[in-house]
Chains A and B, each alone.
Chain A
Amino acid sequence: MFEDRKMETMTAPAGMELVYRRPSTLVDTPMHYCPGCSHGVVHRLIMEVVEETGIQEKTIGVAPVGCSVFAYNYLDVDMQEAPHGRATAVATGIKRVHPDKIVFTYQGDGDLAAIGTGETIHTVNRGESIVVVFINNAIYGMTGGQMAPTTLLGMVTSTTPFGREQPVMGYPLKITELIAHLPGAYFVTRQAVHTTAHVRKAKKALQAAFEYQGHNKGTCFLEFVSNCPSGWKMTPLEANDWLEKNMLPMYPLGDLKVPGRN
């Protein structure tokens, strides 16, 4: 169907060499995500890391419930679907049965920080040697843009039409900061993928996380501050701009815990 995307039929124009193509570990199918969604970028980055390090055969991913529930259709590695919020628990089982495999979970904020808070905290507290990829877009994207625990104060969602108010709905949950204090956490970082510079940094963080998993010293937890153009009712460009102005002050980027540093 997509002849021009097949690795074999990609031919460089005369006098030029190939400098970038999509990773071969990403299944060649259109993704169901909305235009401009950060999920696609993070999917691609994970698969680039898998391709470059040659770990496709020994990588096992765990898909969540949420927009990325169909992640197994796009990531060309062994995948397992988990019940809502339980991806880290399922990954624990997989890692314990197959300690030589590279195991990662891919979860959104509704999955990881709402229904799966208990599983997430206890998995990290046990120091399971898995990589947790956490996509934080401050909203429930799949179900129609309802308030999530990570929704910013004053942010309008379909269940907070006048903005999130602290006395009734509480404060945004910074689960990454929470996780960073646990002794079982080995590498904790927060990244974004809305500009090229951030994408490059995010890829480095992912490379580090997959490498650290081999150390078997604890959980690697990566948060990606993401957009949700449909849920936020914005164009992709407006959403990225809004993310920069509103999300990043609340969720500052950077490494919270790096092996050997703290």
Chain B
Amino acid sequence: MIKGTIHVSIDICKGCELCIAACPQESLALSEQINKKGYRYAVLIKDNCTGCVNCALVCPDAVITVYREPKSAKKREAVEA
């Protein structure tokens, strides 16, 4: 399975939970801590993220950046180098 990961801009997230519902891997949840504005923010709780971009597409505040392993071996080598 392709491995991916996301980065959440914690201080801008409003904890609307739309990304949590959109994640097919159920790898997102709300944090226990709160951010500067007092919202619980989205965090990755499992390492089964595939980088499918679903969470970032539904995010109203554009807080999610998505990274993924390159599909082809050639590209993978280029990224690792």
Contacts and interface: CB of A to CB of B under 8 A. Distances in A.
B45 interface: no
The contact size tier of chain A is: 35 or more
Nearest to A240: B18
Given A196-B22, A236-B18, A15 B65 contact: no
Interface in A1-19: 2, 4-5, 10, 12-19
Contact of A30 (B12, B18, B53, B75): B12
B20 to A, nearest CB: 8
Contacts of B65: 10, 18, 20-22
The contact size tier of chain B is: 35 or more
B32 interface: no
Given A35-B39, A36-B18, A44 B62 contact: yes
Contacts of B39: 35
A4 B62 CA distance: 13
A199 interface: yes
Given A12-B67, A26-B62, A35-B39, A5 B9 contact: yes
CB-CB nearest 9 A-B residue pairs: A40-B60, A36-B16, A22-B62, A35-B14, A35-B16, A20-B66, A16-B67, A236-B16, A196-B54
Interface of B: 3-5, 7, 9-12, 14-18, 21-22, 37, 39, 51, 53-54, 56-70, 75-76, 79-80
